């Protein structure tokens, strides 16, 4: 029996063991959850998880944790290091479902980024440590510091960028925005002009307004009003895991999830 709760859904099912092939690599004995009840997964046929194996704790009857596909590839010798390289690309125009990403199992793809990859140690304590968690030195808007310290998770399965409530309120104040009552997104009557920055260690990764604002061509999909501007940055709350760096950051930066060395790396995407 398996029971898993995700950010946008939940499933209940039965566990089986079978051979699984993906990306030209095969695991001969992979545990698979076959759902007999599921909510929140419209439009997808399944999920293959690459998160830390500790997240599977308690999800399966009579098992402490379940090795992921990547864990098994590494333990069976199919890959020499337990590393996942992730490349997203921004959606173009009104498109919202482009097939323009790439996963590299066991390494990285240098054609997907420029410059070098800078690595940061994964958190080993606190709520975020169960995920791909990092210590954040600061969040900024232009020259304004929104928060001087935070702990967050890097999550490919989250679309938005969630920041702590105090930082979000400072973001609205500095940018002249407000929260849209319908969508819950940051809304602006005038286009913001400053960049949004996330600093890990001593390295700051910035998103320009064109990168953190929702393209006007996509407004109809999200039920947004024309004439205003909306950000992918939103309120993550005041407690628990309230900083989540999601897809809209990762569309602009190549990400490397290195379980072997317990670290996460970033480079400028191309």
Enumerate domains of the chain plus CATH numbers.
Answer: 2-79 (2.40.70.10), 85-269 (2.40.70.10)
Q: Under a CB-based contact definition with an 8 Å cutoff, are residues 200 and 134 in contact?
A: yes
Dump pLDDT digits (tens) for 20-41: 999 899 999 999 999 888 888 8
- Looking at residue 216, what is its pLDDT? 92
Q: Under a CB-based contact definition with an 8 Å cutoff, are residues 139 and 151 in contact?
A: no
Q: Under a CB-based contact definition with an 8 Å cutoff, are residues 87 and 102 in contact?
A: yes
- Looking at residue 93, what is its pLDDT? 74
For the cut 80, the answer to whether the pLDDT of residue 97 exceeds it is no
**Which tops the pLDDT comparison, 260 or 56?**
260
Dump pLDDT digits (tens) for 117-142: 999 999 999 999 999 999 999 999 99
For the cut 80, the answer to whether the pLDDT of residue 65 exceeds it is yes
- Looking at residue 40, what is its pLDDT? 83
What is the rounded average pLDDT for all residues in the chain?
93
Task: Give every CB contact of residue 100 below 8 A, 6+ residues apart in sequence.
Answer: 88, 89
Per residue, what are the HEC states of the chain?
CEEEEECCEEEEEEEEEEEEEECCEEEEEEEEEEEEEEECCCCCCCCCCCCCHHHHCCCECCCCCCCCHHHHHHHCCCCCCCEEEEECCCCCCCCCCCCCCEEEECCCCHHHEEEEEEEEECCCCCHHHHCCEEEECEEEECCEEEECCEEEEECCCCCCEEECHHHHHHHHHHHCCEECCCCCCEEECCCCCCCEEEEECCEEEEECHHHHECCHHHHHHHCCCCCCEEECEEECCCCCCCCEECHHHHCCEEEEEECCCCEEEEEEEC
- Looking at residue 179, what is its pLDDT? 97
Average pLDDT of span 48-58: 87
Confidence grade of residue 217 (pLDDT, cut at 50, 70, 90): very high
- Looking at residue 78, what is its pLDDT? 95
For the cut 80, the answer to whether the pLDDT of residue 62 exceeds it is no
């Amino acid at each position: 029996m398996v029971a898993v709760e995700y950010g946008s859904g939940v499933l209940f099912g039965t566990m089986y063991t079978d051979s699984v092939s993906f990306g030209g690599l095969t695991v001969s004995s992979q545990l698979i959850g076959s759902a007999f009840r599921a909510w929140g997964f419209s439009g997808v046929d399944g999920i293959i998880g690459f998160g830390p194996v500790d997240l599977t704790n308690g999800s399966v009857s009579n098992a402490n944790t379940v090795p992921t596909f990547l864990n098994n590839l590494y333990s069976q010798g199919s890959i020499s290091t337990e590393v996942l390289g992730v490349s997203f690309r921004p959606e173009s125009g009104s498109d919202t479902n482009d097939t323009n990403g790439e996963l590299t199992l066991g390494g990285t793809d240098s054609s997907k980024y420029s410059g070098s990859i800078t690595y940061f140690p994964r958190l080993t304590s606190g709520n975020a440590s169960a995920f791909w968690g990092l210590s954040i030195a600061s969040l900024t808007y232009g020259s304004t510091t929104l928060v001087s310290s935070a702990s967050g998770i890097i999550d490919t399965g989250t679309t938005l960028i969630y920041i702590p409530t105090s930082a979000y309120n400072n973001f609205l104040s500095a940018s002249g925005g407000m929260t849209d009552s319908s969508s819950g997104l940051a809304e602006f009557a005038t286009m913001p002009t400053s960049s949004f920055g996330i600093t890990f260690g001593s390295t700051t990764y910035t998103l320009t307004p064109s990168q953190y604002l929702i393209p006007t061509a996509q407004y109809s999909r999200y039920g947004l009003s024309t004439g205003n501007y909306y950000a992918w940055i939103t309120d993550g709350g005041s407690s628990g895991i309230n900083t989540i760096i999601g897809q809209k950051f990762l569309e602009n930066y190549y990400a490397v999830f290195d379980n072997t060395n317990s670290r996460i790396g970033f480079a400028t995407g191309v």
